[in-house]
Structure 1
Amino acid sequence: MGCPQVCATATLQCSFGAAPAVLNVLPVNRTLTGGMPAANIMDHIPLVNVMPFGVCMSMANPMVAAATAAALGVLTPMPCIPATVSPWLPGAPTVLLGNMPALDANSILMCNWAGVIKIAMPGQMQMLIP
Protein backbone atom coordinates (compact mmCIF):
# COMPACT_ATOMS: atom_id res chain seq x y z
CA MET A 1 0.00 0.00 0.00
CA GLY A 2 1.38 3.44 -0.95
CA CYS A 3 1.80 6.49 1.19
CA PRO A 4 -1.37 8.63 1.48
CA GLN A 5 -1.64 11.74 -0.71
CA VAL A 6 -1.81 15.00 1.26
CA CYS A 7 -4.71 17.39 0.72
CA ALA A 8 -6.22 20.52 2.24
CA THR A 9 -7.04 20.20 5.96
CA ALA A 10 -3.99 18.01 6.60
CA THR A 11 -2.63 18.43 10.11
CA LEU A 12 0.99 19.58 10.47
CA GLN A 13 3.32 19.60 13.49
CA CYS A 14 6.56 21.57 13.91
CA SER A 15 9.32 20.26 16.16
CA PHE A 16 9.55 23.69 17.85
CA GLY A 17 5.85 24.60 17.70
CA ALA A 18 3.47 24.30 20.63
CA ALA A 19 0.33 23.37 18.67
CA PRO A 20 -0.59 21.62 15.43
CA ALA A 21 -1.55 23.64 12.36
CA VAL A 22 -3.66 22.99 9.27
CA LEU A 23 -2.30 22.88 5.72
CA ASN A 24 -4.21 25.21 3.42
CA VAL A 25 -4.14 24.12 -0.23
CA LEU A 26 -5.41 26.52 -2.87
CA PRO A 27 -7.30 24.79 -5.72
CA VAL A 28 -4.87 25.98 -8.42
CA ASN A 29 -3.89 22.46 -9.58
CA ARG A 30 -7.54 21.47 -10.14
CA THR A 31 -6.93 18.03 -8.66
CA LEU A 32 -8.89 16.58 -5.77
CA THR A 33 -8.06 13.76 -3.41
CA GLY A 34 -10.59 12.69 -0.85
CA GLY A 35 -12.82 15.49 -2.13
CA MET A 36 -10.28 18.18 -1.12
CA PRO A 37 -7.65 20.06 -3.19
CA ALA A 38 -4.50 17.91 -3.51
CA ALA A 39 -1.14 19.35 -2.41
CA ASN A 40 2.20 19.38 -4.19
CA ILE A 41 5.67 20.20 -2.86
CA MET A 42 5.25 23.89 -3.68
CA ASP A 43 2.46 24.31 -1.11
CA HIS A 44 4.92 25.67 1.46
CA ILE A 45 4.18 29.41 1.55
CA PRO A 46 4.08 30.78 5.13
CA LEU A 47 0.68 32.12 6.25
CA VAL A 48 -0.85 31.01 2.92
CA ASN A 49 -0.28 27.24 3.00
CA VAL A 50 1.48 26.77 6.34
CA MET A 51 -0.31 28.32 9.28
CA PRO A 52 1.35 29.25 12.63
CA PHE A 53 2.03 26.54 15.25
CA GLY A 54 0.99 28.58 18.29
CA VAL A 55 4.26 29.71 19.83
CA CYS A 56 7.83 29.02 18.69
CA MET A 57 10.43 27.66 21.13
CA SER A 58 13.49 27.71 18.84
CA MET A 59 16.46 29.80 19.91
CA ALA A 60 17.29 30.15 16.20
CA ASN A 61 14.20 32.39 15.91
CA PRO A 62 15.39 35.98 16.53
CA MET A 63 12.18 36.88 18.39
CA VAL A 64 12.61 33.95 20.80
CA ALA A 65 16.31 34.72 21.26
CA ALA A 66 15.60 38.39 22.06
CA ALA A 67 12.79 37.57 24.49
CA THR A 68 14.94 34.90 26.17
CA ALA A 69 17.85 37.34 26.53
CA ALA A 70 15.49 39.93 28.02
CA ALA A 71 14.30 37.29 30.51
CA LEU A 72 17.92 36.68 31.62
CA GLY A 73 18.24 33.34 29.84
CA VAL A 74 14.85 31.84 30.68
CA LEU A 75 13.41 30.35 27.46
CA THR A 76 10.58 32.64 26.42
CA PRO A 77 8.45 31.31 23.54
CA MET A 78 7.14 33.88 21.07
CA PRO A 79 4.32 33.74 18.49
CA CYS A 80 5.09 31.42 15.59
CA ILE A 81 5.51 32.90 12.14
CA PRO A 82 6.63 30.04 9.86
CA ALA A 83 9.73 30.77 7.77
CA THR A 84 9.46 28.07 5.12
CA VAL A 85 11.28 29.25 2.02
CA SER A 86 12.11 25.88 0.44
CA PRO A 87 9.66 23.25 -0.88
CA TRP A 88 8.59 20.07 0.88
CA LEU A 89 11.03 17.14 0.56
CA PRO A 90 11.00 14.68 -1.14
CA GLY A 91 7.36 14.53 -2.29
CA ALA A 92 6.16 11.77 -4.61
CA PRO A 93 8.38 12.10 -7.71
CA THR A 94 6.29 9.66 -9.76
CA VAL A 95 3.04 11.62 -9.27
CA LEU A 96 2.95 15.15 -10.70
CA LEU A 97 0.43 17.85 -9.82
CA GLY A 98 0.88 21.12 -11.69
CA ASN A 99 4.24 19.85 -13.04
CA MET A 100 5.57 19.38 -9.50
CA PRO A 101 5.78 16.23 -7.36
CA ALA A 102 2.66 15.54 -5.32
CA LEU A 103 2.93 15.86 -1.53
CA ASP A 104 2.75 12.58 0.35
CA ALA A 105 2.55 11.88 4.08
CA ASN A 106 6.28 11.04 4.37
CA SER A 107 7.42 14.50 3.24
CA ILE A 108 9.00 17.06 5.57
CA LEU A 109 9.35 20.84 5.42
CA MET A 110 12.24 22.77 6.98
CA CYS A 111 11.69 26.08 8.77
CA ASN A 112 14.49 28.66 8.76
CA TRP A 113 14.27 28.69 12.57
CA ALA A 114 15.52 25.04 12.71
CA GLY A 115 12.07 23.47 12.95
CA VAL A 116 11.17 20.28 11.10
CA ILE A 117 7.53 20.25 9.98
CA LYS A 118 5.93 16.85 9.52
CA ILE A 119 2.51 15.73 8.38
CA ALA A 120 0.64 14.34 11.38
CA MET A 121 -2.56 13.52 9.46
CA PRO A 122 -2.68 13.71 5.63
CA GLY A 123 -6.24 15.05 5.37
CA GLN A 124 -7.58 11.81 3.93
CA MET A 125 -7.60 8.26 5.16
CA GLN A 126 -7.52 4.94 3.37
CA MET A 127 -9.95 2.32 4.59
CA LEU A 128 -9.05 -1.34 4.43
CA ILE A 129 -12.07 -3.51 3.95
CA PRO A 130 -11.51 -7.11 5.05
Structure 2
Amino acid sequence: MKPALCTGGVIQCSFGTAPVPLNSTPTAKVLINGKPMATRADHIPIGNIPSFGLCSCVANPAVQAATAAAMGTPTSAPCVPVTTAPWQQVQKKVKVGGQPALQQGSRLTCQWGGQISVRFPGQINVYL
Protein backbone atom coordinates (compact mmCIF):
# COMPACT_ATOMS: atom_id res chain seq x y z
CA MET A 1 0.00 0.00 0.00
CA LYS A 2 1.12 3.53 -0.79
CA PRO A 3 0.03 6.94 0.56
CA ALA A 4 -2.71 8.72 -1.41
CA LEU A 5 -1.75 11.99 -3.13
CA CYS A 6 -3.73 15.14 -2.35
CA THR A 7 -3.58 18.88 -2.94
CA GLY A 8 -0.36 20.27 -1.53
CA GLY A 9 1.55 17.08 -2.24
CA VAL A 10 4.99 17.86 -3.66
CA ILE A 11 5.86 16.83 -7.22
CA GLN A 12 9.14 17.17 -9.14
CA CYS A 13 10.11 17.06 -12.81
CA SER A 14 13.37 15.34 -13.74
CA PHE A 15 14.35 18.39 -15.85
CA GLY A 16 12.95 21.09 -13.55
CA THR A 17 14.86 23.04 -10.91
CA ALA A 18 12.18 23.23 -8.21
CA PRO A 19 9.75 20.84 -6.54
CA VAL A 20 6.22 22.29 -6.48
CA PRO A 21 2.85 21.57 -4.86
CA LEU A 22 0.17 19.73 -6.85
CA ASN A 23 -3.18 21.48 -7.13
CA SER A 24 -5.82 18.76 -7.49
CA THR A 25 -9.30 19.58 -8.76
CA PRO A 26 -11.85 19.16 -5.95
CA THR A 27 -14.57 17.71 -8.22
CA ALA A 28 -15.68 14.75 -6.12
CA LYS A 29 -15.39 16.34 -2.66
CA VAL A 30 -13.22 13.51 -1.34
CA LEU A 31 -10.94 15.11 1.23
CA ILE A 32 -7.95 13.85 3.18
CA ASN A 33 -7.26 16.04 6.21
CA GLY A 34 -9.35 18.75 4.53
CA LYS A 35 -7.40 18.59 1.23
CA PRO A 36 -8.89 17.33 -2.07
CA MET A 37 -7.66 13.89 -3.12
CA ALA A 38 -5.83 13.83 -6.48
CA THR A 39 -6.90 11.76 -9.50
CA ARG A 40 -5.54 10.64 -12.85
CA ALA A 41 -7.29 13.63 -14.47
CA ASP A 42 -5.24 16.16 -12.45
CA HIS A 43 -2.64 16.71 -15.19
CA ILE A 44 -3.65 20.10 -16.60
CA PRO A 45 -0.61 22.39 -17.07
CA ILE A 46 -0.63 25.43 -14.78
CA GLY A 47 -4.10 24.49 -13.44
CA ASN A 48 -2.91 21.30 -11.70
CA ILE A 49 0.78 21.16 -12.62
CA PRO A 50 2.62 24.44 -11.94
CA SER A 51 5.95 25.50 -13.42
CA PHE A 52 8.98 23.64 -12.06
CA GLY A 53 11.13 26.78 -12.25
CA LEU A 54 13.62 26.30 -15.07
CA CYS A 55 13.69 23.47 -17.63
CA SER A 56 16.96 21.93 -18.80
CA CYS A 57 15.58 19.40 -21.32
CA VAL A 58 17.29 19.85 -24.70
CA ALA A 59 14.10 18.68 -26.48
CA ASN A 60 12.29 21.81 -25.21
CA PRO A 61 12.29 24.51 -27.95
CA ALA A 62 12.68 27.25 -25.31
CA VAL A 63 15.85 25.55 -24.01
CA GLN A 64 17.11 25.17 -27.59
CA ALA A 65 16.55 28.89 -28.22
CA ALA A 66 18.23 29.91 -24.95
CA THR A 67 21.19 27.64 -25.73
CA ALA A 68 21.51 29.09 -29.25
CA ALA A 69 21.37 32.64 -27.83
CA ALA A 70 24.18 31.68 -25.43
CA MET A 71 26.33 30.59 -28.41
CA GLY A 72 25.91 26.89 -27.71
CA THR A 73 26.38 26.97 -23.96
CA PRO A 74 23.64 24.76 -22.46
CA THR A 75 21.12 27.19 -20.96
CA SER A 76 17.91 26.47 -19.09
CA ALA A 77 14.65 28.27 -19.89
CA PRO A 78 11.49 28.94 -17.89
CA CYS A 79 9.49 25.74 -17.40
CA VAL A 80 6.05 25.59 -18.98
CA PRO A 81 4.83 22.02 -18.42
CA VAL A 82 3.14 20.28 -21.37
CA THR A 83 1.31 17.28 -19.95
CA THR A 84 -1.10 16.04 -22.60
CA ALA A 85 -1.67 12.54 -21.22
CA PRO A 86 -3.01 11.55 -17.80
CA TRP A 87 -0.99 10.22 -14.87
CA GLN A 88 0.29 6.62 -14.99
CA GLN A 89 0.88 4.07 -12.21
CA VAL A 90 -2.37 5.09 -10.53
CA GLN A 91 -4.48 3.18 -7.99
CA LYS A 92 -7.14 1.68 -10.28
CA LYS A 93 -9.13 0.05 -7.48
CA VAL A 94 -9.86 3.39 -5.77
CA LYS A 95 -11.78 5.95 -7.81
CA VAL A 96 -12.64 9.55 -7.00
CA GLY A 97 -15.37 11.02 -9.19
CA GLY A 98 -14.93 8.08 -11.56
CA GLN A 99 -11.17 8.67 -11.94
CA PRO A 100 -8.42 6.43 -10.52
CA ALA A 101 -6.72 7.93 -7.45
CA LEU A 102 -3.10 9.10 -7.44
CA GLN A 103 -0.61 7.76 -4.92
CA GLN A 104 3.08 7.78 -4.07
CA GLY A 105 4.70 6.23 -7.15
CA SER A 106 2.29 7.74 -9.71
CA ARG A 107 4.10 9.30 -12.69
CA LEU A 108 3.35 11.89 -15.34
CA THR A 109 5.31 12.62 -18.52
CA CYS A 110 5.94 16.08 -19.95
CA GLN A 111 5.92 16.40 -23.75
CA TRP A 112 9.55 17.57 -23.60
CA GLY A 113 10.65 14.32 -21.90
CA GLY A 114 10.59 15.19 -18.22
CA GLN A 115 9.32 12.57 -15.77
CA ILE A 116 7.11 14.07 -13.08
CA SER A 117 7.03 12.10 -9.85
CA VAL A 118 5.65 12.43 -6.34
CA ARG A 119 8.21 13.54 -3.72
CA PHE A 120 5.71 13.87 -0.85
CA PRO A 121 2.02 12.87 -1.11
CA GLY A 122 0.73 15.75 1.03
CA GLN A 123 -0.40 13.45 3.85
CA ILE A 124 0.67 10.23 5.56
CA ASN A 125 -2.59 8.98 7.11
CA VAL A 126 -4.42 7.38 4.15
CA TYR A 127 -2.90 4.51 2.19
CA LEU A 128 -4.32 2.91 -0.97
- Give the 3-state SS of the residue equivalent to 2:95 in structure 1: strand
Q: Which amino acid aligns with 1:68?
A: T
Partner of 2:59: 60
Q: Which amino acid aligns with 2:11?
A: L
Listed as ranges, the gaps of 5+ residues in structure 2 are: none
TM-score by length of 2: 0.94
* Aligned 1:1-130 pairs, distance under 5 A: 2-126=1-125
Aligned residues: percent identity?
Answer: 44
TM-score by length of 1: 0.93
Q: Which of structure 1's runs of 4+ aligned residues deviate more than 3 A?
A: none
Superposed CA deviations along residues 3-41 of structure 1, whole A, max 9, x for unmatched, are 000000000110000011110012111101232100101
Q: Which amino acid aligns with 1:86?
A: A
**Distance (whole Å) between structure 1 residues aligned to residue 97 and residue 84 of structure 2:** 19
**Distance (whole Å) between structure 1 residues aligned to residue 103 and residue 42 of structure 2:** 12
**Distance (whole Å) between structure 2 residues aligned to residue 47 and residue 62 of structure 1:** 18
Listed as ranges, the gaps of 5+ residues in structure 1 are: none
**Distance (whole Å) between structure 2 residues aligned to residue 74 and residue 34 of structure 1:** 46
**Distance (whole Å) between structure 2 residues aligned to residue 126 and residue 85 of structure 1:** 31
**Distance (whole Å) between structure 2 residues aligned to residue 97 and residue 47 of structure 1:** 21
